[in-house]
Protein backbone atom coordinates (compact mmCIF):
# COMPACT_ATOMS: atom_id res chain seq x y z
CA UNK A 1 0.00 0.00 0.00
CA UNK A 2 1.42 3.36 -1.07
CA UNK A 3 0.69 6.75 0.46
CA UNK A 4 -0.43 9.39 -2.03
CA UNK A 5 -1.64 12.88 -1.47
CA UNK A 6 -4.91 13.38 -3.29
CA UNK A 7 -7.12 11.99 -6.03
CA UNK A 8 -9.58 13.20 -8.63
CA UNK A 9 -12.37 11.04 -9.98
CA UNK A 10 -14.37 11.84 -13.11
CA UNK A 11 -17.16 9.40 -12.32
CA UNK A 12 -19.39 7.94 -15.03
CA UNK A 13 -23.05 7.30 -14.23
CA UNK A 14 -22.76 3.68 -15.33
CA UNK A 15 -19.90 1.24 -14.74
CA UNK A 16 -20.20 0.33 -18.43
CA UNK A 17 -18.70 3.75 -19.23
CA UNK A 18 -15.15 4.84 -18.33
CA UNK A 19 -14.41 6.86 -15.21
CA UNK A 20 -11.16 8.82 -15.10
CA UNK A 21 -8.89 8.58 -12.07
CA UNK A 22 -5.92 10.79 -11.26
CA UNK A 23 -3.79 10.43 -8.15
CA UNK A 24 -1.22 13.08 -7.23
CA UNK A 25 1.51 13.09 -4.63
CA UNK A 26 1.67 16.10 -2.35
CA UNK A 27 4.64 17.22 -4.46
CA UNK A 28 2.29 17.41 -7.51
CA UNK A 29 3.69 14.31 -9.17
CA UNK A 30 1.12 12.36 -11.18
CA UNK A 31 1.15 8.82 -9.78
CA UNK A 32 -1.94 7.47 -11.57
CA UNK A 33 -3.81 8.69 -14.63
CA UNK A 34 -6.11 6.04 -16.06
CA UNK A 35 -9.60 4.86 -16.92
CA UNK A 36 -11.56 2.49 -14.70
CA UNK A 37 -15.06 1.04 -14.94
CA UNK A 38 -16.46 -0.83 -11.94
CA UNK A 39 -16.86 0.47 -8.40
CA UNK A 40 -14.49 -2.32 -7.31
CA UNK A 41 -11.76 -1.15 -9.73
CA UNK A 42 -12.13 2.41 -8.43
CA UNK A 43 -12.11 1.37 -4.77
CA UNK A 44 -9.14 -0.98 -5.28
CA UNK A 45 -7.07 1.76 -6.98
CA UNK A 46 -7.91 4.21 -4.19
CA UNK A 47 -7.15 1.59 -1.50
CA UNK A 48 -3.75 0.93 -3.09
CA UNK A 49 -2.73 4.60 -2.91
CA UNK A 50 -4.73 5.84 0.12
CA UNK A 51 -5.28 9.50 -0.90
CA UNK A 52 -6.25 11.88 1.89
CA UNK A 53 -8.80 13.78 -0.22
CA UNK A 54 -10.76 12.67 -3.28
CA UNK A 55 -12.51 15.29 -5.42
CA UNK A 56 -15.35 13.72 -7.40
CA UNK A 57 -16.85 15.18 -10.57
CA UNK A 58 -20.42 14.24 -9.67
CA UNK A 59 -23.18 15.61 -7.45
CA UNK A 60 -22.71 14.23 -3.93
CA UNK A 61 -26.31 14.82 -2.94
CA UNK A 62 -29.37 13.42 -4.66
CA UNK A 63 -31.83 16.22 -5.38
CA UNK A 64 -35.54 16.25 -6.00
CA UNK A 65 -36.50 17.38 -9.48
CA UNK A 66 -34.36 19.88 -11.37
CA UNK A 67 -31.58 21.93 -9.82
CA UNK A 68 -30.20 21.98 -6.31
CA UNK A 69 -29.75 25.41 -4.73
CA UNK A 70 -25.97 25.01 -5.04
CA UNK A 71 -26.40 24.37 -8.79
CA UNK A 72 -28.47 27.55 -9.12
CA UNK A 73 -25.71 29.45 -7.32
CA UNK A 74 -23.08 27.95 -9.65
CA UNK A 75 -25.13 29.03 -12.68
CA UNK A 76 -25.59 32.54 -11.25
CA UNK A 77 -21.78 32.77 -10.96
CA UNK A 78 -21.37 31.86 -14.64
CA UNK A 79 -20.61 28.14 -14.32
CA UNK A 80 -22.48 25.69 -16.56
CA UNK A 81 -23.74 22.65 -14.67
CA UNK A 82 -26.32 20.03 -15.56
CA UNK A 83 -29.40 19.52 -13.38
CA UNK A 84 -28.80 16.52 -11.08
CA UNK A 85 -32.53 15.82 -11.24
CA UNK A 86 -32.25 14.60 -14.85
CA UNK A 87 -32.51 10.81 -15.15
CA UNK A 88 -28.89 10.25 -16.26
CA UNK A 89 -27.59 12.75 -13.72
CA UNK A 90 -29.67 11.12 -10.97
CA UNK A 91 -28.01 7.79 -11.80
CA UNK A 92 -24.60 9.51 -11.53
CA UNK A 93 -25.56 11.16 -8.21
CA UNK A 94 -26.74 7.87 -6.74
CA UNK A 95 -23.52 6.10 -7.76
CA UNK A 96 -21.43 8.98 -6.39
CA UNK A 97 -23.23 9.01 -3.03
CA UNK A 98 -22.78 5.23 -2.70
CA UNK A 99 -19.05 5.44 -3.55
CA UNK A 100 -18.56 8.40 -1.19
CA UNK A 101 -20.02 6.36 1.67
CA UNK A 102 -17.79 3.35 0.87
CA UNK A 103 -14.66 5.51 0.54
CA UNK A 104 -15.25 7.41 3.77
CA UNK A 105 -16.12 4.23 5.69
CA UNK A 106 -13.37 1.97 4.33
CA UNK A 107 -10.53 4.30 3.34
CA UNK A 108 -10.97 7.10 5.88
CA UNK A 109 -10.57 9.74 3.15
CA UNK A 110 -12.39 13.04 2.72
CA UNK A 111 -14.62 13.10 -0.38
CA UNK A 112 -15.57 16.45 -1.90
CA UNK A 113 -17.65 17.47 -4.91
CA UNK A 114 -16.15 19.40 -7.80
CA UNK A 115 -16.92 20.32 -11.40
CA UNK A 116 -13.74 20.31 -13.55
CA UNK A 117 -14.98 22.59 -16.33
CA UNK A 118 -16.01 25.17 -13.72
CA UNK A 119 -12.73 24.63 -11.84
CA UNK A 120 -10.74 25.35 -15.00
CA UNK A 121 -12.84 28.48 -15.57
CA UNK A 122 -12.42 29.62 -11.95
CA UNK A 123 -8.63 29.21 -12.33
CA UNK A 124 -8.60 31.90 -15.05
CA UNK A 125 -6.41 29.59 -17.13
CA UNK A 126 -7.29 29.29 -20.81
CA UNK A 127 -6.49 25.56 -21.07
CA UNK A 128 -5.45 22.49 -19.14
CA UNK A 129 -1.93 22.98 -20.52
CA UNK A 130 -1.71 26.49 -19.06
CA UNK A 131 -3.07 25.22 -15.72
CA UNK A 132 -0.46 22.44 -15.64
CA UNK A 133 2.34 24.94 -16.42
CA UNK A 134 1.19 27.45 -13.79
CA UNK A 135 0.94 24.80 -11.07
CA UNK A 136 4.30 23.29 -12.15
CA UNK A 137 2.77 19.85 -12.55
CA UNK A 138 4.87 17.18 -14.24
CA UNK A 139 2.35 15.69 -16.63
CA UNK A 140 1.70 15.33 -20.34
CA UNK A 141 -2.01 15.19 -21.23
CA UNK A 142 -1.64 14.96 -25.03
CA UNK A 143 -2.78 11.33 -25.14
CA UNK A 144 -5.13 11.55 -22.14
CA UNK A 145 -8.85 11.05 -22.58
CA UNK A 146 -11.33 13.77 -21.61
CA UNK A 147 -12.17 11.68 -18.51
CA UNK A 148 -8.53 11.52 -17.44
CA UNK A 149 -8.13 15.28 -17.97
CA UNK A 150 -11.25 15.96 -15.86
CA UNK A 151 -9.87 13.62 -13.18
CA UNK A 152 -6.56 15.51 -13.25
CA UNK A 153 -8.32 18.86 -12.79
CA UNK A 154 -10.37 17.30 -9.97
CA UNK A 155 -7.17 16.09 -8.28
CA UNK A 156 -5.81 19.65 -8.40
CA UNK A 157 -9.00 20.82 -6.68
CA UNK A 158 -8.40 18.15 -3.99
CA UNK A 159 -4.83 19.43 -3.56
CA UNK A 160 -6.12 23.01 -3.13
CA UNK A 161 -8.76 21.77 -0.67
CA UNK A 162 -6.08 20.01 1.38
CA UNK A 163 -4.10 23.25 1.66
CA UNK A 164 -7.24 25.27 2.51
CA UNK A 165 -7.16 27.14 -0.79
CA UNK A 166 -10.15 25.79 -2.74
CA UNK A 167 -12.87 28.14 -3.90
CA UNK A 168 -16.04 27.02 -2.10
CA UNK A 169 -19.55 27.40 -3.55
CA UNK A 170 -21.97 26.42 -0.81
CA UNK A 171 -25.71 26.15 -0.24
CA UNK A 172 -27.87 24.13 2.14
CA UNK A 173 -28.07 21.22 -0.30
CA UNK A 174 -24.46 20.92 -1.41
CA UNK A 175 -20.90 22.23 -1.51
CA UNK A 176 -18.82 22.42 -4.68
CA UNK A 177 -15.07 23.06 -4.57
CA UNK A 178 -13.26 24.82 -7.42
CA UNK A 179 -9.69 25.99 -7.99
CA UNK A 180 -9.78 29.73 -7.51
CA UNK A 181 -7.51 32.03 -9.51
CA UNK A 182 -4.28 30.42 -10.72
CA UNK A 183 -3.50 32.25 -14.00
CA UNK A 184 -3.23 36.00 -14.47
What are 144-184's pLDDT values in tens digits? 999 999 999 999 999 999 999 999 999 999 999 999 999 98
What are 74-96's pLDDT values in tens digits? 999 999 887 666 767 788 999 99
What are 8-53's pLDDT values in tens digits? 999 999 999 999 999 999 988 999 999 999 999 999 999 999 999 9
Q: How many CB atoms lie within 10 A of CB 29?
A: 13
| Radius of gyration, CA atoms only, the chain | 15
The per-residue pLDDT for 66 is 73
Which of 66-70, 110-114, 133-137, 153-157 is predicted with the least confidence, judged by mean pLDDT? 66-70
Q: Please name each of the domains of the chain with its CATH number.
A: 6-178 (3.30.420.140)
Percent of the chain with pLDDT strictly greater than 70: 95
Amino acid sequence: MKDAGVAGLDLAGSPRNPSGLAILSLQREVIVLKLLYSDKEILDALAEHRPLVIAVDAPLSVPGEGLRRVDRKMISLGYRVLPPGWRSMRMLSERAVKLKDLIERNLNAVVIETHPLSALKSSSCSSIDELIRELELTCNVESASVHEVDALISSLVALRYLSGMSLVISEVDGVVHLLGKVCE
